[in-house]
């Protein structure tokens, strides 16, 4: 069974359990935490190391997650580790949070710029996305100085690259291929 199927099945089961118990926000917060800790190299090693016993993996994860984690999430951690699927935690968490946002009618968008964006401009971009896509927006800001200027906006599967870096790449390609003369 491939990774996406496993992640979808586990996250769907947890999502439905959380929804049935009316604790979706709590479990979503827990899954965000799990997704974040799974990016740590030590945790990646723990999850993928076949020498470490499953009981030790579950115990370590519970210790790291702490007492603020919902009992449903803790039992989910036990289930995933018991079934030998712990290496899928990052994708399970990602699929779960995506499913939760979709259920709540929230679209995650990412605005990448070379410098920090003025809050007023960020609000205008967020309002525009809400109007165009008829959805609530969770606008994340990413700063990447390598784009030089302009912006890159990602909304769901839509991607707009209006960066200076991208425009320079296009000009370079036109110069190399000799198609630049046609524009003069």
> Could you state, in chain order, the average pLDDT of each consecutive group of 10 residues for the chain (184 residues)?
83 96 96 94 92 92 89 94 93 94 90 91 91 88 90 88 89 79 53
The per-residue pLDDT for 170 is: 87
Global confidence as pTM: 0.73
Return the sign of the alpha-carbon dihedral for residues 25, 109, 5, 78.
negative
Closest by CA to 111, choosing from 133, 144, 85, is 144
Which residues on neighbouring strands pair with residue 143, listed in sequence order? 113
Residue 174: per-residue pLDDT: 83
What residues contact residue 110 under an 8 Å CB cut-off, 6+ apart? Answer: 139, 140, 141, 142, 152, 153, 154
Give me the domains of the chain, ranges plus CATH numbers: 3-102 (1.10.520.20), 109-183 (no CATH)
Give the pLDDT of residue 3.
65
């Amino acid at each position: 069974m491939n990774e996406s199927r496993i992640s979808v099945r586990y996250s769907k089961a947890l999502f439905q359990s959380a929804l049935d118990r009316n604790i979706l926000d709590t479990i979503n917060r827990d899954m965000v935490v799990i997704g974040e800790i799974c990016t740590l190299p030590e945790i990646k090693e723990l999850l993928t190391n076949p020498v470490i016993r499953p009981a030790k993996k579950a115990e370590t994860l519970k210790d790291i997650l702490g007492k603020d984690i919902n009992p449903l999430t803790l039992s989910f951690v036990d289930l995933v580790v018991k079934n030998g699927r712990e290496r899928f935690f990052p994708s399970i968490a990602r699929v779960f949070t995506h499913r939760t946002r979709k259920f709540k009618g929230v679209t995650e968008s990412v605005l990448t710029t070379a410098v920090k964006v003025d809050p007023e401009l960020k609000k205008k971009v967020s309002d525009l996305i809400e109007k165009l896509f008829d959805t609530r927006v969770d606008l994340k800001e990413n700063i990447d100085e390598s784009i030089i200027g302009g912006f890159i906006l990602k909304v769901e599967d839509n991607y707009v690259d209006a960066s200076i870096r991208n425009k320079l790449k296009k000009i370079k390609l036109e110069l190399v291929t000799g198609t630049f003369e046609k524009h003069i």
